[in-house]
Chains A and B, each alone.
Chain A
Amino acid sequence: MRDGAGRRPERREEEEEEEKEEKERRKRKRRRSARADLQFSLQVSCSMAGGEEFFLDEKRFKQCCEDFVKHSQQIGDGWEWRTSKDLGDGYLSKTHFQVRNRHIPPDLKEKNSDNTEQMLFAHIEEPLDDSQAAGVCSTEEVVRYEYHVLYSSSYQVPVLYFRACFLDGRPLTLDEVWGSVHASYQDRLQEGPWDTITQQEHPILGQPFFVLHPCRTNEFISAVLGGSQERHRHTNYIILWLSTVGPVVGLNLPLSYAKLAPEQSTDADLAE
């Protein structure tokens, strides 16, 4: 029995399958290029001076966090809001596990401790190529990451704190954390590691955490957003910021969060 287009039913099924696959491929390609675009525009923006200052007040921080957590719950992304008993402050928190390849590159430079042996980690997404694999021993290890997002009233921006330990409870050293920064950001890290990631006392818990320094957050957030603050009153600052800084330290946001951060559209511009 042939259909209107003159094709047999089984062939139509095959074609539909192929079409589906093709759509998926195109979707993945679009996502990759969207990410690449964002990364590229960030790198360009960071080298530009100026851009209007885009500060986040604490009230708006809390509102963005609330919306963020709601969406996280919908998609099972594991974020929760925690408050401290003593202080009125709260923060976002998420724990997850990452598998790392452990390898010792030959051209290591000491930046921190007196230890002569240093461990570096590579993200599992990037397989070692031949030159890296040569003369390298590799074991997989699981690292437990705990991320916190707090508000800094000094800088009026959110700040990302995290701690990381192996399954046996041993915390990562500063060198190990620097080594685990994503390959795309290593160059920028090496320019000023002491200005980028260091240990600090968690403002609410009082315990040692690693922190991604907030000094330059405002610089690149305002460069990315551009334009007036008015236009971006509906943007979820947390999503924009976290999707930008998170990947530096192994934290990636599923693209579904983009639903909460409406893109700039010409319609919105015209409506003003």
Chain B
Amino acid sequence: MPQERAHGRAQYRMTDDKDVLRDVWFGRIPTCFTLYQDEITEREAEPYYVSMTKLLLPRISYLTLVTDKVKKHFQKVMRQEEVSEIWFEYEGTPLKWHYPIGLLFDLHASNTALPWSITVHFKNFPEKDLLHCHSKDVIEAHFMACIKEADALKHKSQVINEMQKKDHKQLWMGLQNDKFEQFWAINRKLMEYPPEDNGFRYIPFRIYQHYGKTACSSLLDP
């Protein structure tokens, strides 16, 4: 447990620094999506569609949450029966949609020129590498699980458990609809601590390493 420490200056709150929060929230990565060559099947009597589409992806969101248009675009050039769950790959590596987009970019492509080129697949889902994502519910469940785990470290889950279901929903909708104010109206409660405490119980921290090594998290005393 953190020891009592004397602070020389007034308590710093993350939520005081809104500019930084906004910069993080609105970070974008220009991305170019290409359908995997082997999966393009020309439809009879249909014009040939351009096989690429470009997007500005939010760093703080998830691939499967922001690529509905990509999915619709490419499904047009495939036969219905051949289309199953969408998945993404970069230079042969399946991209873990449950990692935030910014993290994926930093891990895999930070040294390459923009736009980031991602390949889209609709077949041969890599069961051993990727979690399934059949609906938005899956993404929401994952996102909320991360929030809850972080609060277990920060506040022994007290803040997240005292929130109503509608607050949880607001967090998720804020992320899904890219609404900074809506999101932070709730998130600021998760980023605060009572003045008598000297900070969070533990700081949630996760280190991701390159080349297939897994993330590790450990307890960090503030």
A interface residues with partner B (beta carbon < 8 Å): 86-87, 112-114, 153-155, 171, 173-174, 194-195, 198-201, 203-208, 213, 215
Contact = CB atoms under 8 A, between A and B. Distances in A.
Interface stretch (B29-37, B44-52, B139-147, B188-196): B139-147
A113 B134 contact: yes
B131 A200 contact: yes
Determine which residue in A154, A155, A174, A194 has the highest number of CB atoms from chain B within 10 A of its CB, and name it.
A154
A206 B212 contact: yes
A201 B129 CA distance: 9
Given A155-B152, A203-B214, A194 B127 contact: no
B132 A174 contact: yes
A112 B214 CA distance: 28
Contacts of A200: 131, 142, 145
Contacts of B128: 207-208
A202 B150 CA distance: 17
Contacts of B137: 112, 194
Contact of A199 (B131, B149, B204, B216): B131
B107 interface: no
A213 B142 CA distance: 11
* Interface band, chain B: 20 to 34
Nearest to B214: A206
Q: Which 3 A-B pairs have the closest CB atoms?
A: A113-B134, A206-B214, A194-B141
A114 B215 CA distance: 31
A86 B215 CA distance: 11
Contacts of A155: 149, 152
Interface in B192-222: 204, 212-219
Nearest to B130: A208
Contacts of A205: 214
B153 interface: yes
Given A206-B214, A215-B157, A173 B145 contact: no
Contact of A201 (B131, B135, B148): B131
Nearest to B133: A199
A208 B216 CA distance: 16
Given A154-B153, A206-B212, A215-B157, A198 B217 contact: no
A208 B127 CA distance: 8
Interface in B5-54: none
Given A155-B149, A194-B140, 8 more contacts: A114-B135, A154-B152, A154-B204, A198-B142, A201-B98, A201-B214, A206-B213, A208-B129
B96 interface: yes
